[in-house]
Amino acid sequence: MNILMTSFTRSHGMPHVPKFSCAMYAPQGYDYPRISWTLIGREDGSDWIRPRNFIGLADPLTAYKAALWARYDEREKVARIWCDMMAGNAAIAFCCWCPHDRAAQRQMGEHGSYICHTDVLGQWIEERLGVRVWYDDERRLMKHIP
Ligand SMILES: [Zn+2]
């Protein structure tokens, strides 16, 4: 199984791929199942880990990644079970708003790139779960957090 990171907007182009939401909430009109272990917050909607929480630190992006990575680590067992369950699919898509939401559009305007949790999530999935992750071509402009 491969996981494709894409946006809700782009997900229309892949009719035969099972689609899931890795966003805290979905744009109106989308009912993809939300996968709780991929979220930046808690399942109850609280405690989001966002880059803005780390502004002012010496290395905000590294701190952001470390916090998100630690949260995913808490969920490793659940994530592994879920991926095993999905293994019969050639590919599945994880959908996020970016870069079609206002925050990403603003970042693109200011910096030419945007930050999205699917960068960290994808790295984590490959490293911890050994599942291959692909990114749609709009994610070329996603800032890679080393
Ligand atoms: Zn995103």
Q: 98: CA distance to ligand 1 center in Å?
A: 4
Which 8-state DSSP code applies to residue 24?
A: S
- Identity at 66, one-letter amino acid code: A
Q: Identify whether the C-beta of residue 14 lies closer than 8 Å to the C-beta of residue 101.
A: no
Q: What is the pLDDT of residues 18-74, one digit of tens each?
A: 999 999 999 999 999 999 999 999 999 999 999 999 999 999 999 999 999 999 999
Domain of residue 43, residue span: 2-141
The answer to whether residue 9 is domain-embedded is yes
The residues placing their C-beta within 5 Å of ligand 1, an ion, are 96, 98, 116
Q: 118: CA distance to ligand 1 center in Å?
A: 6
- For a pLDDT cut of 90, what percent of the chain falls above it? 96
Q: What is the pLDDT of residues 114-144, one digit of tens each?
A: 999 999 999 999 999 999 999 999 999 999 8
Count of domains forming the chain: 1
The answer to whether residue 128 is domain-embedded is yes
- Identity at 43, one-letter amino acid code: E
Q: What is the pLDDT of residues 32-41, one digit of tens each?
A: 999 999 999 9
- pLDDT of residue 146 exceeding 90: no
The answer to whether residue 146 is domain-embedded is no
Q: Could you tell me the sign of the dihedral formed by the alpha carbons of 21, 24, 25, 31, in that order? A: positive
